Amino acid sequence: MRSRPGDEPADASPAYARYVLGVLFLVGVFALVDRQIFGMLIEPLKQEFDVSDTELGLASGLSFALFYGAAGLPIARFADRGNRRDILAAGLGAWSALTLVSGFATSFVQLVAARLAIGVGEAAGTPTAHALIADYFPPERRARALSVYSAGASVGVILAYLVGGWVQEIWGWRGVFLALGAPGILLALLVRSTVREPRRGRFETKRATPLSTREALGRLLAQPAYRFVLASFALHSLAHSAASMWHPAYLARVHGMAPREIGTLLALGSASFSALGVIAGGVVTDRLAAADRRWLLRLPGFASLAYAPLSLLFLFAPIPELALVGLASSAFLSGLAIPGMHAATQELAEPASRATASALNLLILTLVGSGLGPTFVGVANDVLSGAFGDGAVRWSLALAALVNAGSGTQALFGARWLARERGRSEAAPDPR
């Protein structure tokens, strides 16, 4: 389906492209703040509803991931054929309204049901935004543009930590959901009224030929480089999701910190450094990849390999200063890895299947990362509690952190295939 002529930007000016990117940055903020806030509320929810760590892990991880992942591909196929702006605005409005409604839950079952529905709404976010960015920015500037959107996710985590910590102490956990849900509804109206739908494949020489779902998935998965990107993203997400969801509980249980202290520490010492890493990753990746496209995955590979030992430093350092170094540096490296993997995905995908490629990424990394990461830590906490008591969460997080070394090796394998896959795509004849 072609974009409607009236929706396409009249001049596609750089200034308007930057405006759209700024709006999409805000979308990224609200996508993660609504998702991440559950981690800051684990302790009050555990007390309010008398549930186990395993149940909390399933609610924050696997159950959310299943609905998010299941909805992602169908929504992305609509986005690859229809108006991406409208789909994005509808999804944002839905997940923000459901976040607000979560503040009125009177049982754990109601809260989980709202969270599952939030997963469906959020499935419209990142794939649609990535596809829009790819048609507003040329390949040589795409990693930086994608890094801005990804930085929105880190800012969303910062807000989740700060609002979750400070508002929770003043108005309780219900007030947190109310404070974070309402602004997203207003942002959805802004997206619908001011973002225009660009022509698909604006910066490619080939026509954006529509593909069936089977064709789109088949062409993506036939590429070894893309398969390695999937594996790397999934393992990176497992380590990152486990840490972001359970670090608040670790600081509360092991170090006895109050919600306000936890939120401030994680916002300034972790999420802010992750945001810096994402921005730095976009700039450095574009510069390195201008000479050699393999750096789209080499940089994520090296960053992920270095992440694991620094995460262990945060968990086991004998003095607070060293622990803070481990927390900040591991968060920076986690962010540094993201833009290159997103840019590699958009480069390997055809213009008519970019939202699908991003959705497939999210399906795998959500099921393996966001699904299994928090769930694994929750189950491990209950298993290890007999031996370590409240300190079990430290050992569970250490096991999850080691997984990121596997992400690094997969990215480096993918880098070896990336250049040849790109060359093969450019050599293929135009089907017109």
| CA distance linking residue 298 with residue 341, whole number of Å | 10
For residue 2, the model assigns a pLDDT of 42
Q: Helices 320-336 and 139-194 sit at what angle, rounded to 10 degrees?
A: 90
For residue 306, the model assigns a pLDDT of 93
Helices (H) and strands (E) in the chain, counts: 19, 0
DSSP state of 11: S
For residue 299, the model assigns a pLDDT of 94
Residues contacting 360, CB < 8 A, separation 6+: 72, 73, 76, 217, 220, 230
Backbone torsion region of residue 172, taken as left when φ is above 0, otherwise alpha when ψ lies between -120 and 50, otherwise beta? left
For residue 429, the model assigns a pLDDT of 44
| CA distance linking residue 230 with residue 227, whole number of Å | 5
Helix/strand/coil for 52? coil
Output the tens digit of pLDDT for each of the chain's 432 residues: 344 444 444 446 888 989 999 999 999 888 877 777 777 787 888 888 888 887 877 776 666 777 777 777 788 777 777 888 999 999 899 888 888 888 888 888 888 888 777 777 777 778 888 888 888 888 778 778 888 887 887 788 888 888 777 888 888 888 888 888 888 899 999 999 999 888 877 776 555 566 677 887 888 888 899 899 989 988 998 888 888 888 988 998 889 888 888 888 988 888 889 889 988 988 898 889 888 888 999 999 999 999 989 999 999 998 888 999 999 999 999 989 988 888 888 788 877 777 778 778 877 777 777 777 888 888 888 899 888 888 899 999 999 898 888 999 999 999 988 877 655 544 444 444
- Checking 216-219 for CB contacts under 8 A at 24+ apart, the result is 216/77, 216/80, 216/350, 216/352, 216/353, 216/356, 216/357, 217/356, 217/360, 219/350, 219/353
For residue 312, the model assigns a pLDDT of 93
Fold of 13-203+211-427: Growth Hormone; Chain: A; (1.20.1250)
Helix (H) or strand (E) holding 145: helix 139-194
Instruction: Evaluate the CA torsion angle 70, 212, 344, 137 in order and state its sign.
Output: negative
The CA-atom distances, in angstroms, between 29 and each of 37, 214, 266, 376 are 12, 32, 16, 26
For residue 318, the model assigns a pLDDT of 86
- Of the candidates 77, 99, 95, 91, the one whose C-alpha atom is nearest the C-alpha of residue 124 is 91
- Beta-carbon count within 10 A of 177 CB: 26
CA angle 169, 173, 177 (to 5 degrees): 120
The CA-atom distances, in angstroms, between 295 and each of 86, 225, 343, 427 are 34, 13, 11, 21
For residue 316, the model assigns a pLDDT of 93
Tokens representing 191?
């997206």
Residue with tokens 């450019």: 426
For residue 315, the model assigns a pLDDT of 93
Phi first, then psi, for residue 223 (nearest 5°) are -95, 120
Backbone torsion region of residue 389, taken as left when φ is above 0, otherwise alpha when ψ lies between -120 and 50, otherwise beta? left
